[in-house]
Amino acid sequence: MKFLYCPKCKELRVKPWYSMRDRCARCNDDVRVIEVPRSILTYMVYILTAVAFALIFLHTREDNSLFLYTAVALVVAMMVIQFKEMARGEKYARSKIKVTSSDREALRKKGWT
């Protein structure tokens, strides 16, 4: 997962997977890319995705509703885990931003400090 930090706008945003350029969405200026290392939660989401697809496939073959309900429960669990992973990534990215004294007031207005 990658985050983009714009020193001009003082904005931290998740980099979309389809984005080719490292530019600020607001001011179109150069940004700093902060790469967040993957954790066990990321791999957990990958595994739950594969299991959910397998359960949906089994539901189409055997017409057992239990497979479908379990797959829906796994999708909900994936969303919760991914939300926690995004929060962890944002916290990590914020810790990597070097703050100068002129930036402190702008960050204080955004509630970061």
pLDDT (tens digit per residue) in 36-58: 999 999 999 999 999 999 999 99
- Give the C-alpha separation, 86 to 65, whole Å: 32
Note the pLDDT of residue 55.
Answer: 93
Helix (H) or strand (E) holding 76: helix 65-96
- Give the C-alpha separation, 90 to 106, whole Å: 18
Domain extent at residue 19: 2-109
Q: How many domains does the chain have?
A: 1
Rounded to two decimals, the pTM is: 0.70
Contacts of 56 (CB under 8 A, 6+ apart): 67, 68, 71
pLDDT band at 99 (very low <50, low <70, confident <90, very high): low
pLDDT at 113 over 80: no
